[in-house]
Structure formats: C-alpha cells, structure tokens
Amino acid sequence: MSKRTIVAAAIFPLALAACGSTTTPAQGSSGSGGGKTVTFSKMTIGYSVSTLQNQFFVGLTQGVKREAKALGIHLVFDNAGGSASTQSNQVQELVNQHVNAIILNPINASGIIPAVQQANRAHIPVITLDRTAYGGKIASFVRDSSAQMSQEAAKWLVAQLTKRYGSPKGHIVDLEGLMSTSPGQARQKGFMSVISKYPHIKVVSTLPGNFNPSVSFNAMTDAIRANSGVRIDGVFNGNDDNAIGAERAIAAAGLFKPIGSPQHIFIASIDGTSQAFAAIRSGQQDMTVAQNPMKEAEAAVQLAAEVINGKPIPANVKWPHMLIDAANINSPAAKAFGLWSLDLTNPAKGNIPNMKSLPIYSSAGVPTGSYGSLYTQASK
C-alpha cells in the first residue's frame, strides 16, 4: 500500500501542474459541494496525544490545535495521560463518533493496534504523529527520527573531542532517556552506534536520566563522583530535561568552565525546549538537536484534511531537525526552521508556506523528492 502511495505522491504534483487532474475530485475549489469534497468547516478530526507532561507533547498539541483552528476544522482532543488503555478507549470513542480522520500520537506502538484496526474497519483514516503503530493501516506517519537526531548529537561530540585533542578521544558521560519509551531506546542506540566506532572515546558512565532533570542531576553528581580521577570531556543527554540536570550538577560540583575553555564539559542534547534555548544563549549548554513538533503537527492536520477528501498523501513524512548552538540560534536559518518552544503561546499559525518544500521519503527513509502542491485547499 505504502509503495503505491509514494508513487502517486511523486507523480501527482506534476499532473496537477500540467493541467489539473481528473483523478482528484474537485481539487482547487475550496469545496462548494461538488463530488465528495468535504469543506474544512464540515470536517471533524479526532486527536489523541500520549501525554502532556513534557513540553514536546505540548508542542505537538499546540500545532494540531492551531492548524485546525486556522483552517476552521472541528477538533476533538483527547489526552491519554500516559495510559495505553485510556488511549485505546479514546480512539474507540472517536471511531464511535464517526470523526473524519484520527491523528494519533500512540503511547505504545503494539497496544494501539486493535484501536487502529477498529478505525480501519470504520474507514476512518489514521495518521500517526511522532510515534507510530506497529500494525493496522496507517495513512501517513509524520515524525522526526530520534535515532538520526542522537547520531547527529554524537557526531557533534566526536567533532569537539577531535578538535580538543587532535584525534577522537576523551571521556563522555551518557545520561540515557527513559528507557521504557521508544525515543529513549532509539536515542541511546543512535548515540552508541556513532560512539562505538571510536575506540579512544570512552563512555565512562552510562546512567538513567529518565528525561527528568532531578533524576539527571543525581545521576550526573554520581557520575562525577565515580570518575573523580578522570577528566570528563562531555555529556550526551537523552533530551534537554536531562541536560538541565547535568548542567546544574556540573555547576554544583564546581566543574563548570565556559565554552572555549580547555576544561569545558561539552553538553550535547536533543529536542529544543525553551529552557535549552535559554541555556544555549547563556552559555550553559553547547547545543541541542532541535525538532519542531508544532510544524510536524500542523502538517499532520493538513495531511488529514487531504486524505479525508480522498487525495493521495505521503505514507512517510520525516520532518527535518536542526542543530542549534550559540552561533546559529539567532540566525535567519534557525528562525526559518522555527524555534518551536519559544512559540508555544503564539496563537498564529505558522507553517503553510514551508509545507511547499516538504520532503518526501520512502518507507526506508530515503528522500525521493520534494512535495510541491499537495496542500491544495490549505494553501488557499
């Protein structure tokens, strides 16, 4: 199925540019009732988020809400509050309410399968956001790649160590994320896949930071104690909350040296929370590999609107990430990418112009081109 969609996705814009296609009902008209086109104001989209206890998921939710509002789509919003069974029930309720499409941010990729299958039987398209389901039919999976982001952070660390010592060597502390979650595992795996190639870079402590600053603070304090005789060169953090704990522990132990000092401990991290951006600006943190959950979520809403009208949509959308450090945090490029966490309370919708250059990826993650004018209604 996904293969067919990808092909269609690649061909579709060309056909559209040429003369307008007969295969897509009433494209271009913002829906004056012709064919089976549903106008935005008649659409209802259901959205279930795994939890709101982390700024990232607040960003996802904000993106879904503000795009739905901007397009005039009715949104039914559910928060599963971290419980896989609650989420399963919520999706069943959305199916019973006959929403037109479901945007799903699953807690558990396996546990959600029956609920997805139920939506499939009711012919309600399901779009997964940030995490997917391992079964059932998924119309599109929109996300950033945790593995790639952690690899990028790890490569950055390797580059800094190479700069410091002339060759890739040194001592790194690894503060893992919550290892019971898929991002926690993927990031740890991604980090190790890069670091294990450098025999002279030693991971002196691997400790759970659990995506929690308090836990990370204690873990980093322990790591500093356990390696009293060793000079720690850098810390890899499963996310920015871990990084905050690490930074405070380093400062509390009196080991903080400003960026540029030969004794500086490099802090590499992932996500791009507002606190991380503030820490980068103040010189406490070196970098973060920022995602953009708000735009990912806005894309998911637009994809849902398209698929409701029977238009082909890409099966895989990998949103790009960007390495943010003190050198580029104020740059136009960073602004164009979007420092999402600084924008959480801004009610204006932001992404539609950018959607025009949305890359298309195959299910293997290989870019197969960029998507031109998928969002016919939205761009009006």
Partner 1 sequence: MSGDGSVGTGGTRTVQASLGESRSRTGQVQAVPSRRLWGAFLDSRRLPLIGFLLLLSAYFGLTNRYFFTLGNLTTVLSQVSVLGILAVGETFVILLSGIDLSVGSILAISGVLSATLALHHVPVVLAMLSGVVIGLVIGLFNGFFSYAWGMASFIVTLAMLSLAGGLALVITNGSTVFGFPNSFNYLGSATFAGIPVSVFILVGAFVVGHLVLKYTVFGRTVYAVGGNPNAAKLSGINVTAVGIKVFMISGGLAGLATLINTGRLASAIPIAGQTILLPTIAAVVIGGTSLFGGVGSLGGTFVGVLLIGVLNNGLAISNVSAFWDQAVQGVVIFVAVAIDALAQRRTART
Of 288 and 302, nearer to partner 1 (C-beta) is 288
- Give least dist CB 153 to partner 1, A: 19
176 versus 306: smaller Cβ distance to partner 1: 176
Residue type, 371: Y
CA distance 296 to 56: 11
Contacts of partner 1 in 160-189 (CB under 8 A): 176, 179
Q: Is 209 helix (H, G, I), strand (E, B) or coil?
A: coil
When binding is defined by CB under 8 A, the residue of 40, 57, 156, 198 that contacts partner 1 is 57
Q: Of the ranges 162-170, 271-279, 285-293, 306-314, which one interacts with partner 1 (CB under 8 A)?
A: 271-279
CB of 102 to partner 1, least distance (A): 22
Alpha-carbon distances of 317 from 117, 149, 351, rounded to whole Å: 21, 16, 15
76 binds partner 1 (CB under 8 A): no
C-beta neighbour count of 61 within 10 angstroms: 21
The whole-angstrom separation of Cα 360 and Cα 357 is 9
Is residue 110 part of the contact set for partner 1 (CB under 8 A)?
no
- Helices 146-165 and 182-195, packing angle to 10 deg: 30
221: contact with partner 1 by CB under 8 A: yes
DSSP 320: -
In the complex, minimum distance from the CB of residue 74 to partner 1, in angstroms, rounded to a whole number: 23
String marking each residue 326-345 x if it binds partner 1 according to CB under 8 A: ---------------x--xx
State yes or no: residue 274 binds partner 1 (CB under 8 A): yes
CA-closest candidate to residue 102, choices 295, 299, 308: 308
Runs of H (alpha helix) within 110-145: 113-121
**Residue 248 engages partner 1 in binding (rule: CB under 8 A):** yes
Rounded least distance, CB 340 to partner 1, Å: 12
| Binding flags for partner 1, 121-160, as an x/- string (CB under 8 A) | ----------------------------------------
For the bound state, the minimum distance from the C-beta of residue 269 to partner 1, rounded and expressed in Å, comes to: 14
**327-344 core/surface letters (b: 16 or more CB in 10 A; e: else):** ebbeeeebeebbbbbebb
- How far is the C-alpha of 164 from the C-alpha of 42, rounded, in Å? 60
Beta carbon nearer to partner 1, 116 or 223: 223
* CA-angle at 295, arms to 177 and 268, nearest 5°: 35
Determine which helix (DSSP H) or strand (DSSP E) holds 27, and give its type and residue range: none
Q: Is 52 in the site for partner 1 (CB under 8 A)?
A: yes
Q: Would you count residue 218 as binding partner 1 (CB under 8 A)?
A: yes
Cβ distance 201 to 170 under 8 Å? yes
Q: Which residues bind partner 1 (CB under 8 A)?
A: 52-55, 57-58, 176, 179, 205-208, 212-215, 217-219, 221-223, 225-226, 228, 241, 244-245, 248, 251-252, 273-275, 278, 341, 344-345
